[in-house]
Structure 1
Amino acid sequence: MKLFYKIIALTLLMSLFISSLSFASVPEIVAKSAILIDGNTGQILYEKDSHKEMYPASTTKILTALIILENHKLDEIVTIDKDTPFTTGSRIYVIDGEKFTVKELLYAMLLESANDAAVALAKFHSGSVEEFSKVMNFRAKEIGATNSNFVNPNGLPNKEHHSSAYDLALIGKEAMKNETFSKIVSTYKYNIKPTNKQSETRYLTSSNKFLYASGSKNKISYKGKNIDIKYDSIVGIKTGYTDLARQCFVSAIKKDGKYLIAVILKSEGKNIYVDSRTLLDYGVDNYNYVTIFKKNDILANIKVASDKEIPITSDKDINVLISKKDSNLTITKEIKLDKDIKLPYKADQVIGHVNILVATKTIASIPLIAPYEITDKPLLSDKTINLANSNNKISKTTVLFIILKVLLAIIIWRFIMTLINLIKRKFIKRN
C-alpha cells in the first residue's frame, strides 16, 4: 500500500513537472489555408496548405497599393471615368468626373476596402484594368509570388484570379517595407473631404477590427476567455471577403521584439481573428531570435578557378527565429551555390544561398550576394559547416528556469507525501 501511494504521488508530480516545461503544440485553426512568417526574413514558422491556390478576395489590394506607392506621389490627382462608378461590392460611390488624390483613394481602398477606388487607381496607373493586371503579375513574380494570377486590382470573384497564403505573405512582407503603406494599414479612421462632385465628407473605417474593436459586440472566444477583438500589438494589414473566398486576412504584429505576419484564407466569421491571433501568439510565445551572423561576418569564401578566394560578407546582423524547444540543438549552415547562373556574376547578383539548419531541418535561407563582378568559375562544392555561436546553447535564463522548476517539484512532492500520510493516519484511526 505504501508503494502504491508513492507511485500515485510520483505520477502526479511528474505530470505537473513535465507539463510546466512543455511548449505549445502546433496551433489548430479553422482556415483552410494559412501561414505564419517572420516579417523580417520570411522564415516560415507555421503553414497549412500554404501553397494551395485560393481566392484572395480583397487581400489583392495589398499588391495594388504597393504598385501605386512605388510609382506615384500621394498628391497626384485621379479623375474618375464614366465606368468606374459601376464597380460592385464594397465602395465609396465615386462619381463620374470626381477628383481625388492618390492618397485619398489609397485610404479608401485599404481601410474601407473600396473596390471602385482600386479600379480608379489601376486605370490611373495603366489605362485599364487589363493592363494593370499585367503589372500586378509582373511585380508579384519579382517578389517571389509565383503561384498567383491576378486579373483585377480588387479581388472581385473571377476563376482566373487566385493566389496562395505563401504568396500573400511575401506580398504583405514587401508592402509593409513601404512606410506609407504601413502607416495607412495601421490607421483605423480617415476622412475624405468634400470633392468637386460630392458635398459631404466620406468617413472611412478600417475593416481590420484588430485595430479598434472592443465592447460587448466585438468579442471573440480565445483560449477559454471572452475577449475584445482589439489587439494593441497589431500593426496591419488587410482583410478580405467574397462568397467564394470566405473570410481572408493578412495581419502583422510587433510584440516582444518580434515582427510576424500571418495569412488566413477561407476562414469563417470572427474565426479570422481567432485564427490570426492563434498563429501570431504562437510565434511570439514559442520563438526567440538568435543572431546567426553579425554585420561584416563572412558568410562564405567562394574559391574560383584562379585559386582566388572571394569572401562574401553580411551587410547587416542576420537573425533567425529558433523555437524555444530547439534552443539547445546544434545549428549548422549549408552553402548552396546556384549552378545555373552563367558567368560573369554581376555585382549584387544572388549567386546562391546559405541555408540555416536546426538539427537536419532548414529553418531559413539567406541569399549570397556577389560583392562585385566575378568572372572566374566557382570551385566551391556544397558543404555544411557548424556554426560556432554561443547563442545556440541553452541560455542561463533557461537553466535558472529549470532549477526553479525542480525546486518547485520538490516542494510539491513534500506536500503530496505529507497529505498522503495524514490521510493514512485518519484511515488507521477509523479502523
Structure 2
Amino acid sequence: MIKRKKKAGLFLASVLFTLALAACPCFCRAASQADEEETPEELAQLYARSAVLMDADSGRVLFEKDGNTARPIASTTKIMTCILALEEGKPDLVCSVSEKAASQPEVRLDVREGETYLLEDLLYSLMLESHNDSAVVIAENTAGSVEAFAGLMNKKAEEIGCQDTYFITPNGLDASDEGGTHSATAEDLARILRYCIMESPKREAFLTVTRTDSYSFTDLSGQRSFSLQNHNAFLSMMEGALTGKTGFTTDAGYCYVGALENGGRTFIVALLACGWPNNKGYKWEDTKKLMQYGINHYQYETITLDPSLPSLPVSGGAPPSGSLGSDALALLSSEPFQKELLMAGEEAVTAQVKLPAELDAPVEEGQEVGEILYRIGEFEVGRQKVEAAISVPERDLLWCLDQIIVRFFAGKNKISQ
C-alpha cells in the first residue's frame, strides 16, 4: 500500500496513477501505442487511401491508414439507409414512387412514377443491386422526404459515435449542400456497419437481406417482375464472410465495407478511395489482406487484473488509533477486473487509477471515492469504481469528548492497580 501525506487546503485535486501491470504473467510486454507503431509489413502496400480494420465486438480500431479523413463514401451509404428503414418502417409498408425517385440515375431498378412496392422488396433492391431509385423511394416513404430521412441518418450517426460523418442522400451519390459534402471517415463507416450487425435491434434482418444470393419480386400491381443478384463478391471470397456493401462514384472511387467472422472473432474492414477504373479489384485485395491480418494476429485472452490501491488521507477524520498526532487514512478497495479481450501478441492492458488527493470526513464504508480506467493503448476496455473499505468518522466534538472519557478511565484504572 502507498501512503500519501495529507496536504492542507487541497480538496479533491485529481491524482492520476498509471500502473504498468508488468508483474502479471499475461502482461510482461510493454503496452503498445497505435501512433508509435510502424505499419505492419503485410499491410504496407494497401491501395485504399483510407482503410480501417476494426474489432466488431469492442469497436476498437486494430489498424488504420488515414482512417479519420472524411471522404465521399458512394453506395456504402446504403448500409445506413437499410438499417434505418428496418428500424423505422415495417416490411409490409406500401411505398409509392414519386417523380423524384423515378428520375434517379443509374444504377436503378427503373421504378416508374405512381407505382407501388413493398418496403421489404425495395430493401433487397437497395442492398443486392445497389439501386439508387429504390433508395429514394425508401427514404421518402419512411420519413416523408429525402431531406427528413437524411436528418435521421445524421442523428443515428451521432448516436452511435461517428465523429466526422455527414449524410445528404440515401443512395450515396456525390452531393454537397450548405452543411458540407456527403462523406464519412473509414473509421465511422466501420462503426456504422458494427452498429448494423452487433447493436441494432434489426441486426438479424439486416444480415438476412445483405447475405441473400438472389431475390425476385413484383410491384404491387403484379404487372412488373424483377430478379436481383447479390453483387457483394466478398461473400464467396473468404470463409466466414458475413455481410458488406460496395460503392463507386467519380468522387469516391471504389469503396467497400464488410464483416467476417472467424473462430468467435468478428472483424470489420472499411475502405475509401480504393482505386478508380480500371482497378475494380483493388478493394477485394485490400479487404482480404486486412481480414487475414486480423485472423493471424489477434486472439481472445481472458484478462484478470487487481491493481494495488493507496490509502487516502481524510481531512477532519478521526484516526483509528485515537491518537491526535496520527493521520486518518481511508483504506480503498475495488473488484478485480476480468474480461475477455481481443489482443495481439505485443499488446498490454494498463490501469489508470483516478483518485482525489484527500477525502473529507466522514467517510462511509462502500462510499465511491474514485475509479480505475483500463486501456489497450488509448482505447478504453473497462472501468471500475474505487470504494472506501472502512468508515472514517469525523473528528468532531463528540469524538473528542469520547476520547477524553476513555483516557480518563484508563488513567484511573492504572492508579487503582
Could you state the TM-score of these two structures normalised by the residue count of structure 1?
Answer: 0.64
Query: What secondary structure sits across from 1:108 in the alignment?
Result: helix
Within a 5 Å distance, the mapping from 1:235-384 to structure 2 comes to 235-268=242-275, 269-292=280-303, 318-324=339-345, 326=346, 330-334=348-352, 354-357=373-376, 361-362=377-378, 364-366=379-381, 368=383
Alpha-carbon distance in structure 2 between the residues aligned to 1:321 and 1:179 = 24
Alpha-carbon distance in structure 2 between the residues aligned to 1:243 and 1:267 = 12
1:25 aligns with 2:41: yes
After alignment, is 92-101 or 55-64 more displaced? 92-101
Query: What secondary structure sits across from 2:99 in the alignment?
Result: coil
Structure 1 unaligned blocks of 5 or more: 1-22, 213-229, 338-350, 371-431
Q: Deviation of residue 121 (structure 1)?
A: 1.0
Q: Deviation of residue 312 (structure 1)?
A: 8.2
Give 1:415's aligned residue: none
Give 1:206's aligned residue: 230
Could you state the TM-score of these two structures normalised by the residue count of structure 2?
Answer: 0.66
Asked whether the equivalents of residues 97 and 197 of structure 1 are also in contact (C-alpha less than 8 Å), the reply is no
Cα shift readout 1:76-114 (whole Å, capped 9, x = no counterpart): 221222321111121111122222222111111111101
Alpha-carbon spacing, 1:285–1:197, altered in 2? closer, same or farther (3 Å):
same
Within a 5 Å distance, the mapping from 1:61-80 to structure 2 comes to 61-80=78-97
Q: After the TM superposition, list the runs of 4 or more consecutive aligned residues in structure 1 that deviate by more than 4 angstroms.
A: 303-314, 367-370
Specify which structure has the higher proportion of helix: 1
Give 1:81's aligned residue: 98
Alpha-carbon distance in structure 2 between the residues aligned to 1:354 and 1:252 = 29
Which residue identity lines up with residue 208 of structure 1 in the other structure? N
What RMSD over aligned residues (CA atoms) do the two structures have, in Å?
A: 3.2
Structure 2 unaligned blocks of 5 or more: 1-38, 318-329, 356-369, 386-417
Q: Deviation of residue 26 (structure 1)?
A: 4.6
Asked whether the equivalents of residues 68 and 187 of structure 2 are also in contact (C-alpha less than 8 Å), the reply is yes
Query: What secondary structure sits across from 1:182 in the alignment?
Result: helix
Between Structure 1 and Structure 2, how many residues are aligned?
304
Cα shift readout 1:239-259 (whole Å, capped 9, x = no counterpart): 111111010000110113211
Alpha-carbon spacing, 1:275–1:70, altered in 2? closer, same or farther (3 Å):
same
Alpha-carbon distance in structure 1 between the residues aligned to 2:145 and 2:373 = 42
Alpha-carbon spacing, 1:291–1:239, altered in 2? closer, same or farther (3 Å):
same
1:191 aligns with 2:216: yes
Seq. identity, %: 30
Query: What secondary structure sits across from 1:290 in the alignment?
Result: strand
Asked whether the equivalents of residues 374 and 383 of structure 2 are also in contact (C-alpha less than 8 Å), the reply is no
Give 1:131's aligned residue: 148
Alpha-carbon distance in structure 2 between the residues aligned to 1:186 and 1:33 = 25
Q: Deviation of residue 197 (structure 1)?
A: 4.7
After alignment, is 273-282 or 305-314 more displaced? 305-314
Which residue identity lines up with residue 237 of structure 1 in the other structure? G
Asked whether the equivalents of residues 30 and 271 of structure 1 are also in contact (C-alpha less than 8 Å), the reply is yes
- The higher radius of gyration belongs to 2
Alpha-carbon distance in structure 2 between the residues aligned to 1:293 and 1:103 = 46
